[in-house]
Amino acid sequence: MKTIFVYLSTGCISYLFILIAMYLFQETFLFFPDQSPFGQCPGMFNDDVISRQAGDVRFYSKEVEDSDKWVIIFHGNAGNACDRTYLFDLLKDTKSNIAILEYPGYGNDSNKPSQSIILEHAFKLVRHIREMDSRALPIYLLGESLGTGVATFVASTSEVSGLILISAYTSISDVAQHHYPWLPVKYLIKHSFNATLWANKTQAPVILFHGINDNIIPIEFARRQLINFHGQKKLIEISNSGHNDIVDRGANILHENIKAFIKAGQIAK
């Protein structure tokens, strides 16, 4: 009996230490910033992209002469905005001005990444684009992975013409609970990115893309998130693709459907 008690006590203490560690260091499990200095993107600048700053908000932008819309991009949790030239490629031939937010805490920034500051900067970027755009062009939001929640938040607080979501989730806490079923995630997580709540407040048309073989954000989360939107909505499931290769394997599907979605959104408006 004493031996059993010792094992139980040891197990409980170990579990408690795991809970404490997961709470204190959870940012290292969620945010993976590349600290290459902001503005040093040779590959992106070869494509006529400019680094900009509006107050404390940093972003890259590309404008075209015959543009008839803006697409604002919110990237995933790893790397930085410099890594996302492939998202620019998805928007070729769409007559879009493009802006991509560099998250605070990424790109050699002194801030620490968190839900609150990322959402704050995302909202500020959309507001800045509106203020500096004398033509008042329609604004579409494109989110990738973590950025799908960011884009959905902005759409819930601002009027936008449409949402394009690649590898969406209901909340980061739901995804974390899936991967750590033995932890009380909802009581530990500080950055839940509750996209379910924001989707319920969003009326903009939305198109979602998801890899059927995604084992980081399983496709069930996108199927559930689709239900939470109240406007026009569509989920395109891409076979033979996972989380990190969806853009490579599904490039043509993504490009053609995004192009059609943006065109239809403008006609509907």
Whole-model pTM: value is 0.91
Q: DSSP characters for 77-101? A: SEE-GGG-HHHHHTTTTS-EEEEEE
Task: Label the pairing between strands 78-79 and 162-166.
Answer: unpaired
143-168 tens-digit pLDDT:
999 999 999 999 999 999 999 999 99
Distance (Å, rounded) from C-alpha 158 to C-alpha 143?
15
Distance (Å, rounded) from C-alpha 259 to C-alpha 255?
6
Share of the chain above pLDDT 90, in %: 67
Q: Is 245 exposed, middle or buried (0-12, 13-18, 19+ CB in 10 A)?
A: middle
In three state form, how does the secondary structure of 24-45 look? HCCHHHHCEECCCCCCCCHHHH
> In residues, how long is the chain?
269
Helices assigned H by DSSP within 108-204: 115-132, 146-157, 172-179, 185-188, 195-200
Q: What is the DSSP letter of 237?
A: E
pLDDT in tens, the chain (269 residues): 566 655 455 556 665 656 566 666 678 878 889 888 998 887 776 678 899 999 999 999 999 888 999 999 999 999 999 889 899 889 988 999 999 999 999 998 889 999 999 999 999 999 999 999 889 999 999 999 999 999 999 999 999 999 999 999 999 999 999 998 888 878 888 999 999 999 999 999 999 999 999 999 999 999 999 999 999 999 999 999 999 999 999 999 999 999 999 987 643 33
